[in-house]
Amino acid sequence: MTDADDLRRRTAALLAAHPPRTTGRREFLRARFDAGLAWVHFPDGLGGLGAPRTLQSVVDAGLAAAGAPDNDPRRIGIGLGMAAPTILRHGTEEQKRRFLRPLWTGEEVWCQLFSEPGAGSDLAALGTRALRQGDDWIVDGQKVWTSSAHLAHWAILLARTDPDAPKHQGITYFLCDMTDPGVEVRPLRQITGEAEFNEVFLTGVRIPDSRRLGAAGDGWRVARTTLENERVAIGGTRLPREGGMIGPVARTWRERPGLRTHDLHQRLLGLWVEAEVARLAAERLSQGLATGRPGPEGAAMKLGFARLNQEISGLEVELLGAEGLLYDDWTMRRPELVDFTGREAGYRYLRSKGNSIEGGTSEILLNIVAERVLGLPAEPRTDKDAAWKDLAR
């Protein structure tokens, strides 16, 4: 049985065989994956050892102390937080062995082709079509709000394969090569001036049936695995005290006493306490994941994350007054990372507006919490059993 002492020995052996100072970054990450120290709770041979998830911190601490490189998790967050757990749970053995290693090492960046112009909050209404043609599927449609599509090699894709079935039952889940002919990525400029999001047009894209994840028509069930992990990845990130958005506001408060008023003081105290509660709840959620899969609790965490970010950034702008409106760069950039804490208060205020949309709108998440956490009656859904092709659009 793998325990903390065993993981320390394995970590020491990895460092001895591949000293970080003399080993290239990619070579070290590959060796770490092959040693089962990438995500220790994954199965043997797939970057893990079948160990409890809680023991990952033992490995991470040992490698960090030795100055070993990490896999830049923020840059590949969609792959790590959404694609990987879905492939692990629903993929074939061949798919797991093909995709998980380069995904974890960061050699292949992933994006998520789910939302569409007419199917954002109501994702199951999506209209991108995939038609079977021999051993391939031919995909046509449009996706929108796709983070990192301009950087991605692979995408997790939902497409409709049976328009005669009810909307939740006629969807299939695919792994799409973003370099294939017929895939076009266009930037969407945001209120911040950046274009981290994209719209993606799929025109006659040919996807082999070997890159279908799960059974044909069972894509909604597969997608729920992705969505549950996505909400935890966004709202359940483990942070140190005063990590995240509350940190810059607290520092400004301490360093610039001339900005203080009694009203702002009371509001800051309240938000600081809420941020600490959210941080501890995220820690508890992470510990809970060690013994099971993400559940609807992730929706509640993501809800709180969005609201807190918006309220905290609003307080920061108000605290700074006219200075809080300054913004150093409005030129359109194509960033690899969203930098919430390394930019100006004005940037944080504008970017946080998207937190209640991305990863599931707050309105939909409220429904999930009401129905699946609190057990309240579901809202009436008149289109649930109707064929997708008969629905008004």
* Residue range 283-297, pLDDT digits in tens: 777 666 555 566 677
CATH class of 223-373: mainly alpha
pLDDT in tens, 77-120: 999 999 999 999 999 999 999 999 999 999 999 999 999 998 87
Q: Which amino acid is at 379?
A: E
Per-residue pLDDT, 291: 52
Backbone angles phi, psi at 356, to 5 degrees: -90, 5
Report the alpha-carbon distance of residue 231 to residue 350 in Å, rounded.
21
> For residue range 145-159, what is the model confidence (pLDDT) as tens digits?
999 999 999 999 999
Question: Residue 343 in contact with residue 100, Cβ under 8 Å?
Answer: no
Tokens of 387: 């064929």
Give CA–CA dist 271/266, Å, rounded.
Answer: 9
Report CA torsion sign: 78, 165, 203, 189. negative
Q: For the residues 319-327, what does the mean pLDDT come to?
A: 84
Which pLDDT band holds residue 233 (cuts at 50, 70, 90)?
low
The predicted model gives 260-267 an average pLDDT of 90
Alpha helices, H only, the chain? 4-17, 25-34, 56-65, 77-78, 84-90, 93-105, 219-235, 246-255, 262-289, 297-320, 345-351, 362-368
Residue 230 is among the residues annotated as catalytic for this protein: yes
Please give the pLDDT value at position 332.
Answer: 66
Q: Which residue, chain included where needed, has tokens 């209209």?
A: 127
Residue 290 confidence (pLDDT): 53
316 pLDDT more than 90: yes
The angle formed by the CA atoms of residues 125, 130 and 131, to the nearest 5 degrees, is 130
pLDDT at 356 > cutoff 90: no
Tell me which residue has tokens 């074939």: 92
| Under 8 Å between Cβ of 156 and 110 | yes
> Tokens at residue 337, please?
């990372």
> What pLDDT was estimated at residue 131?
98
Give the HSE-up count for residue 221: Cα atoms under 13 Å, Cβ half-sphere: 11
Closest CA to 106 of 130, 150, 75, 136: 75
pTM for the model stands at 0.88
Residue 289's pLDDT is 59
Domain ranges of the chain: 1-70, 223-373
Whether the per-residue pLDDT at 175 is higher than 90: the answer is yes
Could you report the per-residue pLDDT of 15-54, keeping only the tens digit for each? Answer: 999 999 999 999 999 999 999 999 999 999 999 999 998 8
- Given the residues 108, 196, 228, 230, the one annotated as active site: 230
Range of lowest pLDDT (27-31, 73-77, 137-141): 73-77
Residue of higher predicted confidence among 329 and 288: 329
Angle at 85 between CA 81 and CA 91, to 5 degrees: 140
Predicted pLDDT at 300: 78
- Can you say how many angstroms the Cα of residue 54 is from the centroid of all Cα atoms in its chain? 20
Q: What is the pLDDT of residue 230?
A: 77
Q: What angle do CA 266, 262, 275 make, to 5 degrees?
A: 20
Q: What is the DSSP string of 68-83?
A: -----TTTTHHIIIII
